[in-house]
Amino acid sequence: MNKLTSLLLVASVLALAACNNPNKYGANGGAGGAGGVGGINQGGLGDPNDPNSIAYFNQTIGDRVQFAVDQSTLSPQAQMTLTQQASWLNSHPNYTAIIEGHADEQGTREYNLALGDRRANAAKNYLVAQGVGTNRLQTVSYGKERPLAVCSDEQCYTQNRRAVTVLGAAGGV
Amino acid sequence: MTPTLALNTQSPRNDPREGNVMTFIRSLCIALALTGVAASTASGQDGPLRITITDGVIEPLPFAAPVFVAENSGAAEIAQRITQVVAADLAGTGLFREIPPSAFISPVTSFDAPVAYADWKAINAQALITGAVSAGSDGRVNVKFRLYDVFSGAPLGEGMQFGGGQGDWRRIAHKVADQIYGRITGEGPYFDSRVVYVSESGPKDARLKRLAIMDYDGANVQYLTDSSTIVLAPRFSPGGDRILYTSFETGFPRIKMMDLASVSSKALADLQGNMTFAPRFSPDGGTVVFSVSQDGNTDLYSMGLSSGQTARLTNAPSIETAPSFSPDGSQIVFESDRSGNQQLYVMPAGGGEATRISFGEGRYGTPVWSPRGDMVAFTKQNAGRFHIGVMRTDGSEERLLTSSFLDEGPTWAPNGRVIMFTREGAGAGGAAQLFYVDISGRNLTAVPMEGGASDPAWSPLLP
């Protein structure tokens, strides 16, 4: 293994480690983008046309699913997205994921934490049913603490009621 | 009579975690003397000067508070400031109106000089507050005050004296105002209290949050955590010495408990479950009830603080959260969406059958039992609006006190007469602010603060 390859490997592991930090809203002082996008160094995500890249997972497949008001049931569209996520995860066993559940601002704070947890687990359970090992998946709820869009109408609320699958490296990779 | 009260105060120290950012930590005990001062005329009985809050006050009671007499040269400035805080406390209730000093006919230059009732009557001052302040070279401040019922031409209650360190002048002023408020309304005191809350800054999609504590009127803000991690929904212990809250420090929501004297936090015993949140103390301070989310289901648990033993209080596939003990510790009111949407329920403190108490239109959340035991305050969501409301503990006599784009999270003043809550505006510019409102629904007032704030929790009356 030459030096350049080693450096590239280190760089990609670091990029993945960054993805795997569930505290990114904390460590970055909240500067990390909501929805699990802005907090990750886009440079480390690869080409969205490369089916093995994180960018492909995030953008081409889609890293998030949306929910109706006060609901955690998966729409047919959400199920389609999660089926593709599961398929990608099944063919890329070196990745783990943290699924973030979020709610819009139309709800009280603690209820929305519980609701976000429901949504994250709805997505997780679907992935597990599609064969993804449960030990590769964690969930976290942000309630209404990290909206993606900040306007106060349905156009933004739709984007905020979401579960986002944030990829990370499997332990030891 | 010379009852001596222990007074906990705090003074600034640099927070090692925040470099130059101030956190106020030191806790010291100061004896606060509460001494009877002979009134110029003997009078113990109540005059006709009386406000009954439940009757609904339309016209605030006019009072005059001439600047307290400085008994030595060093006391002039602090006498002025104390008088201002006393007047602001009273006027801030909406029950009293301060008559501007420019209207005064006769000056008050001596605490013991006879009161010129006719001069105060002439400007329609129904209550007159006089006081005197001395500041010793040892840093101690003593404040005497008397309250007069101008139209009866007699003192209302006895004169009193409070003392403390120079740094305690605001607390001394609040204690004077609490006495006056109590004598005229017959209600319990609440000005000498604090509020713990979440200080907010930054845009809505990257909000920075940190725990902070302040006097009830927005003064003496002290930060308790830095903004490196999301913190939510703090609650005071019944003794006011500890705070429970939820922190994302580990990356996942977890309950922490802070000792206020040392400003040090610890995670509560490692609890099973992906997320623990919504912690509240029992009235004896020995038990914490909270929510645990496991595999997408949220239920209520309790934990003994000394034993570390946990018990599951609810077992349903629905969301059970936002618990609040009755003041006698026998019951818990909480919210659940077991019926299909958020509603309020009451159950025995040890768990068991729950009785639904909210039946109006819309969703009900964040119930908080009144310290008087007679009511439950809540957040109601209906038809795109948020409200703070109160109801009897059996759900009857529901009354909505506020209405806005987003009101939530009520907390009771120690006397159960005032409710503070979070109000947030719509859109990117809608910062969260703290407001308070009388339980009659009157006197909706923004707490004067710099920056955003949410999730207030009112302390018990300070010792």
Answer whether B212's CB lies under 8 Å from B223's CB.
yes
Rounded to the nearest angstrom, the minimum Cα separation between B94 and chain A is 28
Q: Report the CATH number at residue A141.
A: 3.30.1330.60
Q: What is the mean pLDDT of residues B101-118?
A: 94
Give the dihedral sign, CA B92/B98/B101/B107.
Answer: negative
- Which chain B residue is nearest to residue A30, measuring alpha carbons? B206
Q: Judge whether A19 is closer than 8 Å to chain B, CB to CB.
A: no
Inspect the interface and report whether the beta carbons of A152 and B430 lie closer than 8 Å. Answer: yes
Inspect the interface and report whether the beta carbons of A113 and B277 lie closer than 8 Å. Answer: yes
Chain A partners within 8 Å of B335 (Cβ): 108, 111
- Which chain B residue is nearest to residue A28, measuring alpha carbons? B228
Rounded to the nearest angstrom, the minimum Cα separation between A56 and chain B is 25
User: The domain B194-458: what is its CATH number?
Assistant: 2.120.10.30
The model's confidence at residue A45, banded by pLDDT at 50, 70 and 90, is confident
- What local confidence, expressed as pLDDT, does residue B36 receive? 39
Rounded to the nearest angstrom, the minimum Cα separation between A3 and chain B is 35
> For B230, which of A72, A145, A149 is closest by C-beta distance?
A145
- Which chain B residue is nearest to residue A148, measuring alpha carbons? B205
Rounded to the nearest angstrom, the minimum Cα separation between A4 and chain B is 34
Say whether B194-458 and B4-185 share the same fold. no
- What local confidence, expressed as pLDDT, does residue B54 receive? 54
Of the candidates B442, B454, B359, the residue with the CA atom closest to the CA atom of residue B411: B454
The model's confidence at residue B53, banded by pLDDT at 50, 70 and 90, is low
Q: What is the mean pLDDT of residues B22-28?
A: 25
Give the integer Cα–Cα distance in Å for A19 and A58: 12
> For B205, which of A34, A118, A143 is closest by C-beta distance?
A34
Answer whether B420's CB lies under 8 Å from B402's CB.
no
pTM value is 0.87
Rounded to the nearest angstrom, the minimum Cα separation between B195 and chain A is 19
Domain span at A92: 3-169
CB neighbour class for A154 (10 Å; exposed up to 12, middle 13-18, buried from 19): exposed
The model's confidence at residue A9, banded by pLDDT at 50, 70 and 90, is very low
Number of structural domains, chain A? 1
User: The domain B4-185: what is its CATH number?
Assistant: 3.40.50.10070
Inspect the interface and report whether the beta carbons of A150 and B207 lie closer than 8 Å. Answer: no
Rounded to the nearest angstrom, the minimum Cα separation between B289 and chain A is 14
Interface mutation target, options A25, A111, A142, A162, chain B, most CBs of B under 10 Å? A111
A-B CB pairs within 8 A amount to: 140
DSSP string, B177-229: HHHHHHHHH-PPP-SS-EEEEEEEES-GGG-EEEEEEEETTS-S-EE-S-SSS
The model's confidence at residue B445, banded by pLDDT at 50, 70 and 90, is very high
Chain A partners within 8 Å of B206 (Cβ): 25, 29-34, 146
The CB density around residue A67, as the number of other CB atoms within 10 Å, is 26
Interface mutation target, options B200, B254, B293, chain A, most CBs of A under 10 Å? B293
Chain A partners within 8 Å of B252 (Cβ): 22, 140
Give the integer Cα–Cα distance in Å for B391 and A142: 31
User: How many residues does the structure list for chain B?
Assistant: 463
b/e map of B319-345 (b: 16 or more CB within 10 Å)?
A: bbbbbbbbeeeebbbbbbbbeeebbbb
Six-digit token string for B308: 């570390």
Torsion region of B250: left, alpha or beta (phi above 0 gives left; psi -120 to 50 gives alpha): alpha
Interface mutation target, options A25, A28, A72, A113, chain B, most CBs of B under 10 Å? A113
Q: What is the pLDDT of residues A59-110, one digit of tens each?
A: 999 999 999 999 999 999 999 999 999 999 999 999 999 999 999 999 999 9
Rounded to the nearest angstrom, the minimum Cα separation between A142 and chain B is 8
- What local confidence, expressed as pLDDT, does residue B391 receive? 97
Inspect the interface and report whether the beta carbons of A145 and B319 lie closer than 8 Å. Answer: no
- What local confidence, expressed as pLDDT, does residue B269 receive? 66
Interface mutation target, options A73, A109, A115, A145, chain B, most CBs of B under 10 Å? A109
Of the candidates B2, B4, B55, B6, the residue with the CA atom closest to the CA atom of residue B240: B6
The model's confidence at residue A144, banded by pLDDT at 50, 70 and 90, is very high
Inspect the interface and report whether the beta carbons of A114 and B321 lie closer than 8 Å. Answer: yes
The model's confidence at residue B41, banded by pLDDT at 50, 70 and 90, is very low
List phi, psi (to 5°) of B145. Answer: -145, 160
Answer whether B405's CB lies under 8 Å from B415's CB.
no
Six-digit token string for B436: 């308070």
Predicted confidence (pLDDT) at residue A37 exceeds the cutoff of 80: no
Chain A partners within 8 Å of B244 (Cβ): none
Which of A11-15, A47-51, B200-204, B240-244 bottoms out in mean pLDDT, i.e. has the lowest?
A11-15
Predicted confidence (pLDDT) at residue B427 exceeds the cutoff of 50: yes
The complex scores an ipTM of 0.88
- Helices A109-129 and A76-91 cross at an angle (nearest 10°) of 60
- What local confidence, expressed as pLDDT, does residue B33 receive? 36
Q: What is the mean pLDDT of residues A153-172?
A: 89
Which of A101-105, B43-47, B371-375 bottoms out in mean pLDDT, i.e. has the lowest?
B43-47
Chain A partners within 8 Å of B428 (Cβ): 150-151
Chain B partners within 8 Å of A26 (Cβ): 228-230, 248-249, 251
- Tell me which H or E stretch contains B173: helix B169-185
Q: Judge whether A128 is closer than 8 Å to chain B, CB to CB.
A: no
Answer whether B448's CB lies under 8 Å from B157's CB.
no
The CB density around residue B11, as the number of other CB atoms within 10 Å, is 12
Residues 6+ apart with CB under 8 A from B334: B300, B314, B320, B321, B322, B323, B324, B344, B345, B347, B354, B367
List phi, psi (to 5°) of B280. Answer: -140, 145
The CB density around residue B72, as the number of other CB atoms within 10 Å, is 12
- What local confidence, expressed as pLDDT, does residue B270 receive? 67
Write a three-state SS string for A34-62.
HHHCCCCCHHHCCCCCCCCCHHHHHHHHH
Chain B partners within 8 Å of A142 (Cβ): 230
Q: Judge whether A149 is closer than 8 Å to chain B, CB to CB.
A: yes
Write a three-state SS string for A6-30.
HHHHHHHHHHHHHHCCCCHHHHCCC
b/e map of B34-54 (b: 16 or more CB within 10 Å)?
A: eeeeebbeebeeebebebebe
- What local confidence, expressed as pLDDT, does residue A84 receive? 98
> For A25, which of B230, B274, B321 is closest by C-beta distance?
B230
Q: Judge whether A122 is closer than 8 Å to chain B, CB to CB.
A: yes
